[in-house]
Structure 1
Amino acid sequence: METSLSWITYPLFRLTICLATGIFLFDRFLPEGVSWPLWGGICCVLLCVGLLRLAVWRWRWFFGGVTGLAFFLWGGFSVVHQREKVGYAWDEAPQVYKGIVETVPEIRGKTWRAEVHVEGRHITKGTWQKVDRSVLLSWIPDTVAEPLSCGDTLCFYAKISRPFSEKELTGFDYGDYLLRKGISGTGLVYAGNWYRAGKPRWLTFSQRARVCQQKVVEVYRSWGLDEEVQAVIAALTIGDKSDLSTDLKNVYSAAGASHVLALSGLHVGILSGFLFLVFYPLTYWKRYGRMVRMLLVVTLLWGFAFISGLSSSVMRAVVMFSLYAFASCCSEERFSGIHSLVLAAFLMLLYNPFFLFDLSFQLSFAAVASILAFYPLCTRGVVIQNRLLRYLFNLLCLSVSAQVGTLPFVLLYFGTFPTYFLLANLIVSPLAACILVLTLMALALSSVPWLGSGVVVLLDWSTSFLNGAMRMVQHFSGSQITSVYLSAGQACLLAGIFICLYLCWSAGMQRKARQWICLLVVCNLFVALSVGMYLQEKPERLYFSRAEIYTRKGHCISTHTSDSGLIRIGTLCVGVLDDGRWKNCQASWRLPLDYVYICRGFKGNLSRLNDLFEMKQVILDSSLSEGYREMLIKECQLLKISYTDLSVQGSYSIEL
C-alpha cells in the first residue's frame, strides 16, 4: 500500500509544483499584450531542445521531465489565455453598453455597485459590437428608473476603464486585483444614464446562489438584532461581509481572529463535525450506514456552499472534504489529508490559474498544510487525562500550527502580528461553533413561535459576547505588533525556516545533522537579507493622489494637510487648491510654489492664480470634471506652465 500511495501522492505533488511554477513565472515575466501563439511557439522550440538534451542525458528521467515540463507550459499558457479572456481595450470616451447584472447590488455610500457582464457596445442603430467581459459597475440611483436586481438586463452610458495602479504608493494594484478576479474594468453611471431593459427570465446557478445568500441576510435582518451582531452572524455563517464596519474588522484583526469572519475550512470543519454527530445513528447500519452518512454530510455541505453564494473559500474547503470523503469511502485505508489538499490545489489551478494569486487561496492552503504537518508533532507524546485540559491543549496546538503556516503571508501582505492570538482563538473557536449551530437551528425553527425566538436570543447573547471579548483582547497592552513588513525574499526564507524545523523535528537520528545544517544555512540567509534591507537607505517620495498629498518612506505613509492649503515639505512649497478662497485675493508680490495641486472644489482660473503665485508646475487631480480640466489645460499651455493630468496616469510622485 505504501508503494501505491507514493505513486498517487508524490508525482501529483511534483506536477502541482510544476503547474504553479509555470503560472507564477509566466504571469510575472511575460509582458501583457503578448499573443499566446507567439509565446507558445517559443516555448515549443525550447521544449524540443530540452527534451533532446534530457534524452541524451538520462533516459530514466525522460518521462518525469517531459510530464513536468508539459504541466509547466500548461500553467503558463493558461495564464496567457486567462489574460486574453479578461482583458479588453475599452474606449477612452463614454459609450453605450448593454449587459446583465451578475451579482446582487449592494450599497456603497451614495451609489449602488454590482458586477455586470457587458454583452455588447452600441455602434449604430440596431448594431452592437460584441464585448463579452465583466466589469464592476457603480451607478447613482434614479428616482424614475426601477431598481436593479441580480439577472436584470441593463443599458447604460458610461466610461469604462481599468483602475490606475497605486502599487507604488499603497503597495496594492487594484486593477491587477480585479483582473485576477475576472473583471476587466470599472465604471460609474450617473443618474439618467441607465435603465433596466428587461427582467430576468432565468438565473444561472451562481446567480441563484447569490440571490439565496441575500435572502438569508434579509431573514437575519428580520430578527431585529443589533447591527454589529447581525453583521458578524452574516459574515460567520454565509460569508456576507457587506455590513461589517471598518472598526469591527479592525477589532477582530487586532485580536488575531479575523479568520472567523471569512468563510473557510474552519466553518466547513465545524459544520461537518456537527452533521457527523447528528447522523451518528446511521453507523449502526453496518452495511451501508457509513457510506450513507458520508453522502448526507457531503450533500448538506454543498447546500451550505450554495446558500453562502458559492464563495471560492468555501468551495475550496468543500471540494477538499468531498475528495477526502470519496477516497475514504472507496478505500478501507485512511486517506491522508495531504493527498486531498494537493489534489484540490491541482484541480483548482487547472480550472483557474489566477487562484494562485488569491490571498485567501494562499492562506487557506498554507494553514491546512501547516496543521497537517505540525499538529501531529505538537501533540505527539503528550498524554493529558483531563478532557477539558486535553481539549484546550489540542486547541492551542491547532492555533499555533495554523499560525506558523500563515505567518510569512501575513507579514508579507499586512505587516502585523497579533500577540494574543492564542487567547483569542480559545474564545473564538468554541463560540464560532456555537454561533454556527445556533444560526442553523434558528433558521430551521423560525416558524415555531417560542422555540425559534428563544434560539435567536441565545444567538444574540453568544455573538454579543464574542464581539465584547474581541474588543477586550484588542484593548490589551501590545495586542498587535505593526509595521513588521517582510519582502518576498524574506517571506520565502521564513517559510524555508519553518520547513527545515519540521524536517528536523520529524527526521530520524541518522538524518538530523543534515537537517540542522540546512536550518542554519536558511537562518543565516534570512538574517543577512534582513540586515542588508535594514541598512539600505530608503528614499522618501512625495505623492499627489486622490486629492491628498502623501509622503512615503519605506512602508510609512504620512498625509500632509494645512488649513491655508499651503504646505512646506522639505525644501518644496506646495499649494493644495480645493475651494474658492483665492478667487478674489490680491497680493503685492507673487509667492513661489513648486507645485500647485488643483482638486475638485477649486473655483477660479489659472490666470488669476498666476497673479498670486509663481507656479512652476500644475497638477490636475482626476476628480475634476472633463470640461473644467480641459479649460485648465488650455490655460497652462497659454501661460507656458508645465502641467500633469492625473486622469491619465492616476498619481504623480517625486523623490525628496
Structure 2
Amino acid sequence: MNTACLHQYPYIRLIIPWIAGVFCGDWFFDQSAELLWSILAFCLFTGLSIAFYYLERYSLRWCFGVSVFALCFAGGWGSISWQLKQTVYDFPEKETVYRVQLTDTPEAKERTLLCRVWLEGQHDSSYVCPIGRKAILYLQKDSLVTQLKVGDELFVSVRISSPVNGGNFDEFDYVRYLMRHGISGTGYVPSGKWVRVSSSAAASSHASGFLHFIQYTAISYREKVIDLYRKLGFEGDELAVLSALTVGEKADLSESIRESYSVSGASHILALSGLHIGLLYALFFLLFLKPLVRRWRGIRYFRSVLLLVLLWSFAFFTGLSPSVVRSVSMFSILTIADLFGGRSLSLNTLAATAWVMLLGNPAWLFDIGFQLSFLAVLSILLLQKPVGRLLPVKNRIGKYVWGLMSVSIAAQIGTAPLVLLYFSRFSTHFLLTNLVVIPLVTLALYTTVFMLCLTPLPAVQYLVAEVARFLLKALNGFVRWIEQLPYASLDGIWVYQLEVLGIYIFFLLFFYYSKTRRFRNLVICLSFLLCLGICHTVMYGYDRPHSSLVFYNVRGCPVVHCIGEDRRSWLSYADTLPDKHRLQMVAANYWSRHQLLPPVEITTDCQGVDFSRHQQIVFYHGCRICMVTDNRWRNKSAVSPLSINYMYLCKGYSGRLEELTRLFSPSFILLDASLSDDRKRLFREECERLGLHFLSLSEEGSVRFLL
C-alpha cells in the first residue's frame, strides 16, 4: 500500500499511536506499576526522538519516525493511566462524616436524589483529612432533600465505597465508566444523615478552587436560562427538548420522547454536541463581517477572536458540560486553523483536533459522543463527495436536498457500526428523518438564539417564543410520526467489538480501492469481507443458545431464567412486583448476544409442556428449582425430603436452612443478592456445616448451568 500520502497528514501519524496507547493503558490498568513504566518509556523515547532528529545520517532517519511513534504510544498509555489513578482512593469501611459540595444539579430518581459531589474532606472529632475526590451520593427523598441546589455544602454521615460491577454476563462496565468520569466512590445517605452547612449563594463565595467556582457559576447561569424558558411559557416535551437542544439539560426528557427520537434515528439531536455547535459556528462565521474579510485581512483575526469568545460564552451558559466543552474545543481549533490560512476542516485539522483534545483528557476517547462525532465528520470528509456524485442533480432545490441527503448518508455509513454496537438498533428511516429534522432544528436553534438576545424587549421576546414553540411542536410531532411508520427501526441487532473493528478496516480498504481502481486491491477488499463473514458465522454459532438456567445478580429482582435451544425462554420471578426495568438493563446485552426471543414472564403458578411452576418450585428440562421467597415452608414436615437440583434463597425467608433440609434435599444452594449481609453469612455457615455446595450471586455475579 502506498503510504506517501500520509506525509501530507502529520497529525494522523501522531493520533494513531496515541489512541492505541490510550486503549492499551485503559485495558491493562490495574493500579500497579504501569504508570511508572509508561513514564520511563515516555522519557526514553523522548530522548531517542531528539537524538534521531539531529542525526546527520539520512539512512537512519526512519528511526526518528519509529521513536516518535513509540513516544506517542507511551504518552497515550501514561496519560490515561495517570488520569485513572487519580480516582483511586481507599475509603473507610465504616460510616464516616464528610464535608461535600454539590457540583451539578441533583437528578430525581424513583426513591432517591442522585447528587454528584466534591468530597472536600473527612471530618472526625479530632482531625480533618482533605480528600479532593468526586463521588456520587444517593440521598433518600424527603421534604428537605428536594430543596438542594448545585453549590450547596453538606455534612453527610455515609459509608462511601469504591464502585463495583455486578459480574453479570455482558454487563455494562459501570466501574470503568465512573473512573473515566473521575468518580471515586458511591454511597447511600438515609434521611437524617445529612445537614446543609451553607447554601449555594454562600458556597459560591468560597468555592474550593477556581475551576469549581467557574463550573458552579456556569451551572447557575444554565439554570437561569431554563427558568427564562419557563417564564416564556415553554412546558412539557417542548421545554425538555428546548433545554436539551440549547443548554444540554436532559433531566426533564420523558422516556416516551427519548424512545421516539431513538426509534426515528434523531437521538443525536437531543445530545448537545457537534451538530448544534456546528450550526452556531456556521451562523457566527457567515454573519460577522463576511464582506469585510475579503477586503481587509485584519478583520479575519478579529472575526476569529470573536468566534472563540462567542463559542466559549455559549459553552459557559450551558454549564460547561463535557460534551459541549469537547465540541467547542473542536471548533475552536478549526477557527485557529482558519486564522492561520489553513483549511478550516480537513483530515489533518480533524486529526490535530482529536490529538489536542485527547492530550487534555484521554478518557474522552471512550465517550460515545466523542467517537460518533469524529467518525461522522471523518465520514463526511471522505464519503460525501463520492456519494454526491452518484446522483447528478442540476436543479437548485434538488442540489440542496441531495446535498443534505448525501451528508446524512455519509455520516450514517461512518457511525452505523458503532450505533449497532452500543444501541443494538438501526433506524431505517434516517434519511427521511434527517431531511426534515435538521432544518427544523436549525430554525429552532437560530430562533432561540434570537429570542435570548431579545431579553431587554419582553414583548417582542414573547412573540419570538411563540415561533420557537411552534417549531418545537412540529419537530416533536414529526419525530413521533416517524416512530409510528412500519419497520421504523430494527432492534436486537448484536455485533461484536472485533467485528466492528473489522467493518471499519473493510471501509478503509474499499475506500483505498475506490481511489486506486486496482484489481489487486479489490481482491484484498473482498477477501477481507469474506473472512469477516466467516468470523461472524463462527462467533454466531458459538453463541447459539443452549438449554440452561441463568441466575442474575440483580438486587431488586430475584429471578430464574430458563433458556431453551429454540431461543425461547421463561423468566420465573420470585416477587409479584419485580424490578423488571433493572433486570432489563443488566441482561439486555446477554439476551441480544444469544438472539433470544422476548422472554415469557411468570409470576404465578402455571402448567405447560416445556415449563411449569407450582408452589414456587420450577420444573424445567428435568430440573427442579425451589425458589424460597417467603415462610411458606416453615413448620412443615415430610416423610422423605424432595430431591431438588437448585435451592434459590431470596429475601423474605426468615428461617434457618436446616429447616428446609427436612423438606428438600438440594444439590446446590444459591444465595440471592437481595439477602442482607447477616443472612448471607448465616446461610454460608450453615452450608459449610451441612456440607452443601453453595454460591453467593453478590460475590460471584451471574451464573449459568447447562442442562
Task: State the SS of the aligned residue for 1:594.
Answer: strand
Deviation at 1:369, TM superposition (A): 0.6
Aligned counterpart, 2:478: 469
Describe the superposition over 1:37-81 as per-residue Cα deviations: whole angstroms up to 9, x where unpaired.
256558888999999999999512111111111111111122221
1:115–1:135 CA contact under 8 A, matched in 2: yes
Give TM-score, length-normalised by structure 1.
0.89
- 1:114 positional shift: 1.9
Quote how far apart the aligned CAs of 1:161 are.
Answer: 2.7
| Pairs within 5 Å for 1:99-114 | 99-114=100-115
Match 1:520 to one of 507, 526, 542: 526
Task: Tell me the alpha carbon deviations over residues 9-58 of structure 1, each in whole angstroms, 9 at most, x when there is no partner.
Answer: 52221111111111112322454434532565588889999999999995
**Distance in 1 between the 2:222 and 2:623 partners?**
53
* Contact 1:146/1:196 (<8 A) preserved: no
Contact 2:544 2:594 in 1 (8 A): no
Does the CA-based 8 Å contact 1:544-1:651 persist in structure 2? Answer: yes
Instruction: Decide whether aligned partners of structure 1 residues 340 and 11 sit closer, same or farther in structure 2, where only a CA change above 3 A counts.
Output: closer
Counterpart contact for 2:97–2:155, Cα < 8 Å = yes
Summarize the Cα distance change of 1:278–1:210 in structure 2 as closer, same or farther, 3 Å threshold: same
Letter in 1 for 2:148: L
Give yes or no for the alignment of 1:240 onto 2:249.
yes
Out of 648, 651, 656, which is 2:699 matched to? 648
* Displacement after TM superposition at 1:142 (Å): 4.9
Q: What is the Cα deviation at residue 412 of structure 1?
A: 2.1
How do residues 201-216 of structure 1 correspond to structure 2 at under 5 angstroms? 201-203=205-207, 204-216=213-225
Secondary structure at 2:493's aligned position in 1? coil
Matches within 5 A, 1:121-520: 121-122=122-123, 124-143=124-143, 147-166=147-166, 168-199=168-199, 200=203, 201-203=205-207, 204-280=213-289, 283=292, 286-287=295-296, 288-331=298-341, 333-380=342-389, 384-446=393-455, 448-507=457-516, 512-520=518-526
Change (3 A) 1:655 1:137: farther
CA distance in 2, matches of 1:118, 1:384: 60
Quote the Cα distance in structure 1 between the aligned partners of 2:52 and 2:551: 52
Q: 1:52 to 1:274 in 2, by over 3 A?
A: closer
Change over 3 Å in CA distance of 1:497–1:579 after alignment to 2? same
- Report the alpha carbon displacement of residue 563 of structure 1 after superposing the two structures with TM: 1.6
The farther-off stretch of 97-106 and 70-79 is: 97-106
Corresponding residue SS for 2:552: strand
Q: Indicate the residue corresponding to 2:536 in structure 1.
A: 530
SS at match of 1:196: strand
Kept in 1: contact 2:544–2:595 (CA 8 A): no
Partners of 1:299 and 1:93 in 2: how far apart? 48
Q: Hey, what's the Cα distance between the residues in 2 that align with 1:502 and 1:33?
A: 42
Rate the CA distance shift 1:88–1:57 in 2: closer, same or farther, 3 A. farther
Contact 1:163 1:185 in 2 (8 A): yes
| Per-residue deviation, 1:456 | 2.5
Q: Does the 8 A contact of 1:255 with 1:480 survive in 2? A: yes
When residues 57 and 324 of structure 1 are mapped into structure 2, their CA distance, relative to the original with a 3 A threshold, is closer
Point out the more displaced range, 587-596 or 253-262: 587-596
**Alpha-carbon spacing, 1:97–1:382, altered in 2? closer, same or farther (3 Å):** same
Secondary structure of 2:625 counterpart = strand
User: Does the C-alpha gap of structure 1 residues 578 and 191 become closer, same or farther in structure 2, counting only changes over 3 Å?
Assistant: farther
Instruction: Tell me how far apart the structure 2 counterparts of residues 110 and 466 of structure 1 sit (CA, whole Å).
Output: 33
Q: Say whether the 8 Å CA contact 1:167–1:173 is kept in structure 2.
A: no
Which range is displaced more, 603-612 or 67-76? 603-612
What is the alpha-carbon distance in structure 2 between the residues aligned to residue 520 and residue 580 of structure 1?
64
Maintained 8 Å contact 1:99/1:118:
yes
Query: C-alpha deviations, 1:204-237, integer Å up to 9, x for none?
Result: 2122222222332333334444422221111122
Secondary structure (helix, strand or coil) at the match of 1:187 reads: strand
1:544 matched to which residue of 2? 552
Given that residues 289 and 299 in structure 2 are in contact (C-alpha distance below 8 angstroms), is that contact kept between their aligned partners in structure 1?
no
Question: 1:80: which partner in 2?
Answer: 81
Which amino acid is 1:562 matched to?
T
Measured in 2, the distance between the counterparts of 1:6 and 1:64 equals 12
Q: Which moved more, 1:322-331 or 1:55-64?
A: 55-64
Q: Bigger shift: 76-85 or 559-568?
A: 559-568
Secondary structure in structure 1 of the residue aligned to 2:186: strand
Paired AA for residue 303 in structure 2 = R
**Distance in 2 between residues matched to 1:397 and 1:325, nearest whole Å:** 25
Residue in 1 that maps onto 2:585: none
Worse-matched range after superposition: 253-262 or 199-208: 199-208
**8 Å Cα contact 1:209-1:307 kept in structure 2:** yes
Task: Tell me, in whole angstroms, the C-alpha distance in 2 between the residues paired with 1:101 and 1:387.
Answer: 53
SS at match of 2:604: coil
SS in 2 for 1:334: coil
1:475 positional shift: 1.9
**2: CA distance between counterparts of 1:443 and 1:655?**
62
Give yes or no for the alignment of 1:26 onto 2:25: yes
CA contact (8 A) 1:51 1:62 kept: no
Give the direction of change, closer, same or farther, for the CA distance of 1:426–1:639 in structure 2 (3 Å limit).
same
- 1:367·1:402 contact (CA, 8 Å) conserved in 2? yes
Q: Residues of 2 paired with 1:340 and 1:582: CA distance?
A: 70
* C-alpha spacing 1:45/1:338, structure 2 compared with 1 (3 Å): closer
Contact 2:307 2:335 in 1 (8 A): no
Q: Distance in 1 between matches of 2:512 and 2:41?
A: 39
Displacement after TM superposition at 1:636 (Å): 4.3
Q: Post-superposition shift, 1:190?
A: 1.0
Query: Which whole-Å deviations, capped at 9, do the CAs of 1:96-134 have from their partners, x for residues lacking one?
Result: 333322222121122111222223334x52223443321
Deviation larger for 530-539 or 77-86: 530-539
Amino acid at match of 2:334: Y
The answer (yes or no) to whether the contact 1:36–1:80 under 8 Å persists in 2 is yes
Q: Aligned to 1:162, what secondary structure does the other structure show?
A: coil
Match of 1:594 in 2: 645
Query: Structure 2: any 5+ residue segments left out of the alignment?
Result: 208-212, 564-589, 606-615
Change (3 A) 1:375 1:627: same
Deviation for aligned residue 1:490: 1.4
Quick check: 1:282–1:292 contact (8 Å CA) kept in 2? no
- Between 53-62 and 350-359, report the one with greater CA deviation: 53-62
TM-aligned CA deviation for residue 283 of structure 1: 3.0
Q: Counterpart amino acid of 1:568?
A: F
Give the distance between the partners of 1:238 and 1:548, measured in 2 at CA: 40
Per-residue displacement from partner, 1:369-417 (whole Å, max 9, x unpaired)?
1111111222348653433211110110010110111112122222221
Cα shift at 1:612:
4.1
Change (3 A) 1:143 1:297: same
Aligned match of 2:624: 573
Count of aligned positions: 647
Output the CA distance in 1 between the equivalents of 2:620 and 2:63. Answer: 63
Task: Rate the CA distance shift 1:598–1:13 in 2: closer, same or farther, 3 A.
Answer: same
Deviations 1:344-387 (A, max 9, x none): 11111111222222211111111111111111222348653433
What is the aligned-residue identity percentage?
31
Q: 1:167 to 1:366 in 2, by over 3 A?
A: farther
